[in-house]
Amino acid sequence: MQCKGAFMKTNVAPRCCPGRQRLAPAAIGHRGRDRLVVCASKVPVDQLLGVAKHAAQLGAEVVMAALDKPRTITRKEGTDIVTETDKASEAAVVGAIRAAFPDHAVLGEEGGVQGDVGSDYLWCVDPLDGTVNFAHGYSSFCVSVGVVRHATPVAGCVIEFLPAPGGPSAWSTRTFTGARNTGAFLDGKQIFVSRVKELRDAVVATELVYYPDMWPQLSALHRSFTGQCRGVRMSGAAAANLCHLAMGCIDSYWQYNLKPWDVAAGLIILEEAGGRATTGDGLAYSVFDRSLIATNDALYDKVLALTEPQTSAMLSEGVSLSPWCVPRGYRVRSGAQLD
């Protein structure tokens, strides 16, 4: 789904604003296993997380039921596709959220904006992240349900589908959860990012998507990471990449043109696992930003050293990296998550 129509330009501080400067390492998210204690939500985060888990489970049940059935695939824009399962999963997820929080706003990849955009809370729903993988029976794909207060994720759940023993039609799931100041968990067991310190020892993830105006920089970045890291992996699902980073099986992730429903749930899981996220040129990240680097602490400066020059080159050539996909009327206030 493209960001137009029901979306507006945000009042998040622009990239040139002094109030949105590059952050020193100690100022961004968590450091290792330490906790950054903030009051992130007026609704208790355990209540938000409970609804996120319930909604994601309902969506996952829809996906699981469809795995052994023929797919009905419809083209969206370009090479993007949607299936009837995306839509049915989103309906189940959104129904659960609206029943629990009728006064909150919901942003779904397929259905757009629903609910009260005057709310402090925006639920970001990707009912089937990795639709191409799902359509071809290729792992991994997932259901992602996250909630942000203004622009900051406060709770999220990602249910990932993986092949299971028993043949090509057998699938299992694993559930990632996180809520502000409570930790990140995989099937109930706490998880943390890796402690890899050098790029030569790192496995990194991205999705090599062709954007004509960004292609020179994206291909240069892919070349740099491939040449300097142990390996570059592409899962086909942004939420899965963030969760894989949170559990320590990859060490960094970089991507451009992600949307709020791609990152809201995975980002809070990553942060609670001790990870860090900024824009590609080192500015404080919000779910409405178009560039993302996510790493453990030890690799952050090394990754930024590769992404910052290419991100700056995009900006100097007029590529738009301003915030996008903000629902019209939704209040995005810098620092509001801290009150």
What would the pLDDT profile of 180-196 be if each residue is shown by its tens digit?
Answer: 999 999 999 999 999 99
- Position 77 scores a pLDDT of 66
Q: Is residue 329 part of a domain?
A: no
User: In terms of C-beta density within 10 A (0-12 exposed, 13-18 middle, 19 or more buried), how is residue 234 classed?
Assistant: exposed
pLDDT at position 333, please? 66
Question: E strands, the chain, where?
Answer: 7-8, 73-75, 81-83, 105-108, 112-115, 121-129, 141-149, 152-163, 171-179, 183-186, 189-190, 203-205, 231-233, 252-256, 276-278, 291-295, 326-327
Quick check: 10 pLDDT over 70? no
pLDDT tens for 84-125 read 899 999 999 999 999 999 999 999 988 899 999 999 999 999
**The predicted structure's pLDDT at residue 40:** 39
The answer to whether residues 236 and 309 belong to one domain is: yes
Binding-site entries for Mg(2+): 109, 126, 128-129, 262
Residue where one domain finishes, among candidates 148, 173, 190? 190
Q: Helices (DSSP H) in 75-162: which residue ranges?
A: 84-100, 131-136
What is the identity of the amino acid at 89? S
| C-alpha span between 185 and 188 (Å, rounded) | 5
pLDDT of residue 272: 98
Q: Does some domain include residue 276?
A: yes
**The total number of structural domains that make up the chain:** 2
CB atoms closer than 10 angstroms to residue 194: 23
241 shares its domain with 184: no
User: Do the beta carbons of residue 153 and residue 268 sit within 8 Å?
Assistant: yes
Same domain, 220 and 165: no
Q: Is residue 29, in this structure, part of any structural domain at all?
A: no
**pLDDT value at 309 more than 60:** yes
Do 219 and 287 belong together in one domain?
A: yes
Looking at the structure, tell me whether residues 173 and 196 fall in a common domain. no
Residue 10 in domain: no
For residues 92 and 140, state if they share a domain: yes
Which residues are bridge partners to 276 per DSSP?
295
Q: Is pLDDT at 39 greater than 90 in this prediction?
A: no
* Average pLDDT, integer, range 2-8: 65
More confident residue, 326 or 25: 326
For residue 161 the two structure tokens come to: 């589908």
pLDDT (average), residues 302-316: 98
pLDDT given at position 11: 41
Average pLDDT, the chain: 87
Residues 303 and 210 in one domain: yes
Q: Give the model's pLDDT for residue 316.
A: 97
Give the end-to-end CA distance of the chain in Å, rounded to a whole number: 32
Work out the average pLDDT over 202-220.
96
pLDDT tens digit sequence for 226-237: 999 999 999 999
Within-domain flag for 83? yes
Cα separation, 115 vs 106, in Å, equals 6
Last residue within a domain, chosen from 147, 165, 190 = 190
Whether 24 is covered by a domain: the verdict is no
Whether residues 209 and 89 share a domain: the answer is no
Are both 55 and 186 inside the same structural domain?
yes
Structural domain includes residue 81: yes
Claim to verify: residue 199 and residue 296 sit in the same structural domain: yes
Annotated binding-site residue numbers? 109, 126, 128-129, 262
Q: What CATH number is given to the structural domain containing 90?
A: 3.30.540.10
Over range 63-84, report the average pLDDT.
76
Residue 264, pLDDT > 90, answer yes
By residue range, what is the domain housing residue 184?
45-190
What mean pLDDT is predicted for residues 44-70? 93
Q: What is the pLDDT of residue 260?
A: 97
Give the mean pLDDT of 175-184: 98
Contact call for residues 277 and 36 (beta carbons, < 8 A): no
What's the token pair of residue 94? 């959104």
Q: Is the pLDDT of residue 36 over 80?
A: no
- 55 lies in the same domain as 175: yes
CATH number at residue 242: 3.40.190.80
Question: Percent of the chain scored above 90 by pLDDT?
Answer: 73
What does the alpha-carbon distance between residue 218 and residue 307 come to, in Å, rounded to a whole number? 9
Instruction: Determine the pLDDT at residue 12.
Output: 42
The pLDDT, as a whole number, for residue 222 is 97
Asked which of 138, 165, 190 is the last residue of a domain, the reply is 190
Are 177 and 229 members of one domain?
no
pLDDT in tens, 116-170: 999 999 999 999 999 999 988 888 899 999 999 999 999 999 999 999 887 667 8
- Asked if residue 130 is part of any domain, the answer here is yes
